[in-house]
Chains A and B, each alone.
Chain A
């Protein structure tokens, strides 16, 4: 009887689901909601694989109860591309092979988008700080950072 009814918005779509009080937003996304693009790494807020946005703000979905999603607007990796049209970060990550095993990639992309929304012209150091909460166990950081910097440059160019 501990399940609670949650009404929320995920990637712009109204969603209702039932959640155990003790389950995290990550559990709900990957479980009953079937949105498995958000990954579980450490489950303790250290690795960033479960990164999502909540009302536009970057968070770890493993550090938030599913019931806290009530009335919020959640953004996951599934909402990053518009249909077949990839987000510039996704396109650039493919072009530059800025991933190895890929487990960290959804979280890195969500974090990188949040970073570029706040800072469209970051330095390399700012990118590294901005992504410090996203661990890549393959240690593929260099290509990730370069892809984010190149995407930022492209997006600034196309915004002119």
Chain B
């Protein structure tokens, strides 16, 4: 057995230096709910494990006011669920993060890990795409910010450069009449992987959709931002025709696989069904603000 090094730096600079110095032989440890399973299966054999949970920025929840939040990438779902302000501003993002695994997994699993594991079926990702969350990334060449949808590159692959670490997610200011929702379709009611996952973020004014974003998961190699669906919703009063047009845009965006959880035809149909259901939930929440 080869020796593995474990580092738990207190600062981001130390973590980035160690990660870059290991030149690909290191793995970042947040909740470990993917990493430890992959290590056990022999899929990942890191020479160094860099635990980022002692870095304050990675585990902080900052209320920036007006519904805006900055969430450390390693914040666990269980910790985030206890933040009442975040739940009120971003219920869809929270329900998506809280769908990842059991209570035990919630104690560890983080949105940053969910994004970096880059499963097309990661539950938090479509909701964060819909939310318009911005990812702060720190690497050997400094800091950069990108939208969530720019990070996944394919199953298990990201656009992160060597040595780069996802630090936090910034959620924008919430206008009046804005809310979000997330649903996933699974064959059972708990503890399963999405056949389709869909997040919608709406801003309503006098019954009219002023802004919309739709994130769609598990139907393509990466989570998708479905701009066609948003266009169909914006300016509408969520009349049947507008919602059906948005559903059609979601179906058209699908490039799914056939697997044991669902066929191509089923996943494509369900994408449209979920769009309608999630729009209804998000609109009801937005109206209630």
Q: Which residues of A contact B (CB under 8 A)?
A: 1-2, 4, 20-22, 24, 43-46, 48, 51, 54, 57-60, 62-65, 67-68, 70, 111, 114-115, 129-130, 132-134
Contacts and interface: CB of A to CB of B under 8 A. Distances in A.
A99 B35 CA distance: 32
Closest 6 CB pairs of A and B: A133-B102, A2-B3, A59-B107, A21-B4, A21-B6, A60-B104
A64 B108 contact: yes
Contacts of B104: 45, 48, 51, 58-60, 63, 111, 133
Given A45-B37, A133-B102, 15 more contacts: A1-B3, A4-B6, A21-B5, A48-B102, A58-B104, A60-B104, A60-B108, A63-B37, A65-B32, A67-B6, A68-B8, A70-B8, A130-B103, A132-B190, A133-B103
B36 to A, nearest CB: 5
A45 B33 contact: yes
B228 interface: no
B191 interface: yes
B108 A2 contact: no
B108 A44 contact: no
B31 interface: yes
18 contacts: A2-B4, A21-B4, A21-B5, A43-B40, A45-B37, A45-B104, A57-B76, A58-B104, A59-B107, A59-B108, A60-B108, A62-B36, A63-B105, A68-B51, A132-B102, A132-B190, A133-B102, A134-B102
A133 B39 CA distance: 21
Interface in B61-85: 76, 78
Interface in B1-31: 1, 3-6, 8, 29, 31
A28 to B, nearest CB: 13
Most chain A CB inside 10 Å of its own CB: which residue of B5, B103, B190: B103
Interface in B187-225: 190-191
Nearest to B188: A132
A113 to B, nearest CB: 12
Given A54-B107, A58-B107, A59-B107, A64 B6 contact: no
B191 A133 contact: yes
Contact of B6 (A46, A63, A65): A65
Contacts of A57: 76, 78, 107
A64 B32 contact: yes
A43 B103 CA distance: 16
Interface residues of B, number: 29
Most chain B CB inside 10 Å of its own CB: which residue of A22, A44, A129, A130: A22
B98 to A, nearest CB: 11
A63 B49 contact: no
Contacts of B37: 44-45, 63
Contacts of B101: 45, 133
Nearest to B53: A68
Contacts of A129: 190
A140 B108 CA distance: 27
Given A2-B3, A63-B33, A132-B190, A21 B103 contact: no
Most chain A CB inside 10 Å of its own CB: which residue of B6, B53, B78: B6
A11 B117 CA distance: 33
Contacts of A45: 33, 36-37, 101-102, 104-105
Nearest to A44: B37
Contact of A58 (B33, B40, B49, B103): B103
Interface string B31-59: 11100110111000000010101000000
A68 B104 CA distance: 16
Contact of B29 (A1, A54, A65, A114): A65
A102 to B, nearest CB: 19
A84 to B, nearest CB: 29
A25 to B, nearest CB: 10
A58 B78 CA distance: 9
Contacts of B105: 45, 60, 63, 133
A22 B39 contact: yes
A87 to B, nearest CB: 18
Contacts of A111: 103-104
